[in-house]
Amino acid sequence: MLQVVPAILEKSFNEMVEKVARVKPYTNFLQIDIMDNTFVPNETFRDAARIATLDATLEIHLMIDKPALYFQQWALPNVQRLIVHFETIGNMEHDIALMRTSGKEIGLAINPETLTYEIKDYLDMVDMVVVMGVDPGFSGQQFQKDVLEKVKEMKKWKPELLVEVDGGVNMYNRDMIEAAGATHIGAASALWKAEDLGTAWKALQGVE
Residues recognised as catalytic: 33, 166
Instruction: For 86-113, give the DSSP string.
Output: GGG-S-HHHHHHHHHTTSSEEEEEE-TT
Q: How far is CA 84 from the centre of its chain?
A: 9
In three-state secondary structure terms, 174 is helix
Instruction: For 48-94, give the DSSP string.
Output: HHHHTTSSSEEEEEEESSSGGGTHHHH--TTEEEEEEEGGG-S-HHH
Residue type, 184: H
